[in-house]
Amino acid sequence: MVVLDFGAQYAQLIARRIRESRVYSLILPYDTPLEQILAHAPQGLVLSGGPASVYEPGAPLPDPRIMEAGIPTLGICYGMQLMAHLLPGGRTAAADQREYGRTRLFVDDGADLFAGLEPRLICWMSHGDSIVALPEGFVPLAHTDRNAVAAMADRRRRLYGLQFHPEVSHTPWGLEVLRNFLYQVCGCQPTWTMSSFIDRGTAAIREQVGGGRALCALSGGVDSATAAALVHRAIGDQLTCVFVDHGLLRQDEPEQVVRTFRDTFQVPLVHVDAADRFLARLRGVTDPERKRKVIGEEFVRVFEEEAARLGEIDFLVQGTLYPDVIESGTRTAARIKTHHNVGGLPERMRFRLVEPFRELFKDEVREVARQLGLPDRMIARHPFPGPGLAIRIVGEVTRERLDLLRAADAIILDELRAAGLALEIWQAFGVLLPVHTVGVMGDARTYGQVVVVRAVTSEDGMTADWARLPDEVLEAIASRVTREVPGVTRVVYDITSKPPATIEWE
């Protein structure tokens, strides 16, 4: 299944929902020529949403031949409006009233896409344009209180459109609509699994590396550890893992990483203590994008030095995920933040990259990890950014500020584990702000640091909601941090979801 990306963050979520249905999906830019699309032999095509209006000058348009290529196609939001814009008889225009958020949907035709669903549903809308004239051959399938065409179809040509977003969790039955399209309209079979991915990935790594040697940038997280396990499965002792302690890890983590990896895998592991050089490079740096680039470049320089010491090594293995790629900016999506292992890499480096998970989401990598036999404690580890605590310290990174945040962060995680909540939370951590606030300790005035507690729930990291932690857990965290971490006067809780915020603060 090919998803054409028109610049919406939801394009990746569409691909993920398709994969949840055990059908392989591939995301391509919206203007990919038809010949390149056909080269992937897709059983179906999905046109994603997007921020533009189809009738505006310069609006992103696909190869116009895709509508006549005989490929079953589903247009979602902007994708549906494109169909009306490009096909004879159809017309899209600005709506009198835009629809945003949870909306009542009335099903007028319960066949194919809506098979097995109730006639009245709740869906998620996010659009300011609407279909005002159906293209020739199309019939309406559903409507809302404000929109006469909330879904449409030309069954003869197997062209379908949805104004709502079936891929988001706010449309609770949306996955059923996608599966109806995949199975009933496109004739797909649910055969894509992480087991099949492992087999294909192993073969691809062997072909890419050949008789060469590779270094794996091991951070201790599930992504890089699973990448190491998969690459080792493919090329064996041609792989050497390098764990670079950049001094930006959580409390006791360097020792845990080395111990866990050496106990779990029979793979050569080089431990490099580079804390001093990273801190020296970060001195005086306050801009978050600059931090990421400095850290990404220094990582590569350390790996290059280790490669020179170890001998001829041509490949660098990274646990890069698809959210890393998309948030760092692509041709069809705006940059949210530069990930150190994507946009933070230097323009010139001697390695060729091996990134087996570049098109996978976190939950998919965790399933690969389970099938490769990684320990549960590693699989369940909360996501941790490559730049580490450097992007959880707002402002300049110093050894003293790192020590303070490490202590506070350890308390946050300890209290979540004590409350039995650690596995329910996608990610939880502390953030150190560059401000001071007045307080009272021991009947005396204090003027100390502010620590933010950030805890979110998510499925894949592309979107997230703030975790509703119990009051007693928040109270325990605040009490311990202000009591046990010298210099902290105040603890606050971040209740912002993603979007509009990101999970990390920088």
Residues tagged active-site: 77, 165, 167
Question: Which residues are registered as beta bridge partners of 284?
Answer: none
Q: Could you tell me the sign of the dihedral formed by the alpha carbons of 97, 102, 108, 114, in that order? A: positive
Q: In this structure, how many other beta carbons lie within 10 angstroms of the beta carbon of residue 205? A: 22
Backbone angles phi, psi at 435, to 5 degrees: -130, 160
| DSSP 8-state secondary structure symbol assigned to residue 116 | T
- Find the Cα–Cα–Cα–Cα dihedral 348, 353, 357, 359, rounded to 10°: 60
Nearest CA to 397 out of 287, 252, 303, 481 is that of 287
DSSP character string of 45-81:
EEE---SS-TTSTT-----GGGGGS---EEEETHHHH
Nearest CA to 261 out of 222, 235, 319 is that of 222
Euclidean distance between CA atoms 285 and 446, whole angstroms: 28
DSSP character string of 155-207:
TTTTEEEESS-TTSTTSTTHHHHHHIIIIIIS---S---HHHHHHHHHHHHHH
Determine the straight-line distance between the first and last CA of the chain, rounded to whole angstroms. Answer: 34
| DSSP 8-state secondary structure symbol assigned to residue 500 | T
Structure tokens at 58: 């310069």
Q: Which residues contact 231 (CB under 8 A, 6 or more apart)?
A: 205, 209, 214, 216, 239, 317, 354, 356
Q: What b/e string do you get for 233-246 counting C-beta neighbours within 10 Å, with b at 16 or more?
A: ebbeebbbbbbbbb
Euclidean distance between CA atoms 135 and 363, whole angstroms: 39
Euclidean distance between CA atoms 25 and 19, whole angstroms: 6
Return the half-sphere exposure (C-beta side, CA atoms, 13 A cut-off) of residue 138: 27
